Homo-oligomer: A and B are copies of this chain.
């Protein structure tokens, strides 16, 4: 609409046309108020029944909630109105009438189950606090991209239809590709390495990944957004620095640019930007500290992977973002390099939020012979990965990188209970639609 004014921009003394949804109607007898809502906020429309054209009053007050209307009128200061201004309408047009029965109440007065909300996302997103989550999500992605650009990284797009999975055939969704078996990619891992091995050197990608895991928890998704980095001539220490920079930049950007959204989510007071310099705990230190909490029934032994309750106990103990480094090689994937001076230890690292793992990364194995051995030890046929391994024969520089769970970053940054709150249309074992 060419001449539409956002409600947030309607200034007293102006004549404006605003358009949006009927948020609320309050009929006080001789006077009635309609609250109109658009993407920028809300504004009060005043109907004085005796002084206005009957048809105008009837149209304005007869319309069902959540209908779309357009209102032209004069803006005046009104200290008692929610935003300090109100519009006295000259005309009201009903643009799209809504059913009187709504599956969900966007005014938020009636709580709804998450599944009802996800089934009716359009209505759900009309709530200020839900809209705020997705404004912040967009801001986080923007901050991540700008950080990568500042660090000389080139944005890439890698294929999502692939012939083989990153770590073999498990946990992949199979597709039929012109009669051939193919899969939806579970990680850009192998592809970003192939680009880091070229002149492009430092790359990032923010894109979908697909995992056919049977998990059904508040922090797993079967389709997620991965924030990936890979850099030639980087080691795992530098990759950790990049991960730290991206996570910190996300908090900074939200803190600077999303004041209203944090307010809408009730987080304005408590929101804290991490100071960076996340502590770097060795795996050995991590299991010792977990064992010392006494939260686990059984003590962890060197070589055990960290169970969820161990991560939670350690997170509470550390109380801020932290890295876990020096993992046993045997519990990290084959493409992660062992340490030079101790092949029992891996260069792999995890970046943890106190609540959960955010990032997994490490220096990659760039030596052809070691890589082939790694495939074999993992029980994978190196031949099937020939398109990848052969490039390691033609001058593959040392390189390192990581994958950061985009939704986990949103979830932990905002303290969401369920990862699905931060995804427009989540995919899990039960949910394929909308």
A292 part of interface (Cβ distance < 8 Å): no
Contact call A125/B198, Cβ cutoff below 8 A: yes
A242 part of interface (Cβ distance < 8 Å): no
Looking at A72-80, A108-116, A155-163, A311-319, the stretch in contact with chain B turns out to be: A155-163
A102 part of interface (Cβ distance < 8 Å): yes
Chain B nearest Cβ from A202, distance in angstroms: 7
Using Cβ atoms and an 8 Å threshold, which residues of chain B touch A190? 434
Contact of A98 among B99, B214, B393 (CB under 8 A): B393
A200 with B98, Cβ < 8 A, contacts A19-B397, A233-B1, A432-B163 known: no
Interface string of A354-387 (1 = CB under 8 A from B): 0000000000001100000000000000000001
A173 with B176, Cβ < 8 A, contacts A98-B393, A208-B207 known: yes
Using Cβ atoms and an 8 Å threshold, which residues of chain B touch A174? 175-176
Chain B nearest Cβ from A367, distance in angstroms: 7
Contact call B38/A199, Cβ cutoff below 8 A: yes
Using Cβ atoms and an 8 Å threshold, which residues of chain B touch A390? 103, 120
Contact call B121/A198, Cβ cutoff below 8 A: yes
CA gap between A346 and B273 in the complex, in Å: 50
Contact call B138/A156, Cβ cutoff below 8 A: yes
Contact call B432/A162, Cβ cutoff below 8 A: yes
Q: Which residue of B lies closest to A140 (CB)?
A: B155
A339 part of interface (Cβ distance < 8 Å): no
CA gap between A407 and B122 in the complex, in Å: 31
Chain B nearest Cβ from A195, distance in angstroms: 7
Contact call B393/A161, Cβ cutoff below 8 A: no
Using Cβ atoms and an 8 Å threshold, which residues of chain B touch A96? 366-367, 395-398
Contact of A154 among B123, B138, B157, B173 (CB under 8 A): B138
Q: Which residue of B lies closest to A135 (CB)?
A: B154
Looking at A178-186, A293-301, A328-336, the stretch in contact with chain B turns out to be: A178-186
A21 part of interface (Cβ distance < 8 Å): yes
A278 part of interface (Cβ distance < 8 Å): no
Contact call A425/B98, Cβ cutoff below 8 A: no
A219 part of interface (Cβ distance < 8 Å): no
A427 part of interface (Cβ distance < 8 Å): yes
Looking at A44-52, A82-90, A126-134, A245-253, the stretch in contact with chain B turns out to be: A126-134
Count of A interface residues, CB-CB < 8 Å: 103
A191 part of interface (Cβ distance < 8 Å): yes
Contact call A68/B173, Cβ cutoff below 8 A: no
A141 with B155, Cβ < 8 A, contacts A19-B397, A184-B161 known: yes
A338 part of interface (Cβ distance < 8 Å): no
Contact call A160/B208, Cβ cutoff below 8 A: yes
Using Cβ atoms and an 8 Å threshold, which residues of chain B touch A212? 178
A26 part of interface (Cβ distance < 8 Å): no
Contact call A387/B433, Cβ cutoff below 8 A: yes
Chain B nearest Cβ from A105, distance in angstroms: 11
Contact of A122 among B21, B197, B202 (CB under 8 A): B197
Using Cβ atoms and an 8 Å threshold, which residues of chain B touch A142? 145, 149, 155
Contact call A396/B68, Cβ cutoff below 8 A: yes
Q: Which residue of B lies closest to A97 (CB)?
A: B395
Q: Which residue of B lies closest to A155 (CB)?
A: B138
CA gap between A184 and B388 in the complex, in Å: 25
A424 part of interface (Cβ distance < 8 Å): yes
Chain B nearest Cβ from A33, distance in angstroms: 19
Contact call B160/A434, Cβ cutoff below 8 A: no
Contact call B156/A223, Cβ cutoff below 8 A: no
Q: Which residue of B lies closest to A429 (CB)?
A: B178
Contact call B157/A123, Cβ cutoff below 8 A: no
CA gap between A38 and B180 in the complex, in Å: 38
CA gap between A217 and B96 in the complex, in Å: 43
Contact call A199/B37, Cβ cutoff below 8 A: yes
Q: Could you give 8 example pairs across A and B, Cβ below 8 Å?
A: A67-B395, A98-B395, A99-B393, A122-B394, A122-B396, A125-B198, A138-B155, A157-B406
Q: A134-B156, A159-B424 are in contact. List 15 more A-B contacts (CB 8 A).
A: A19-B233, A21-B395, A39-B202, A95-B397, A128-B199, A131-B200, A134-B154, A138-B155, A145-B145, A160-B210, A161-B210, A175-B184, A177-B432, A191-B425, A194-B434
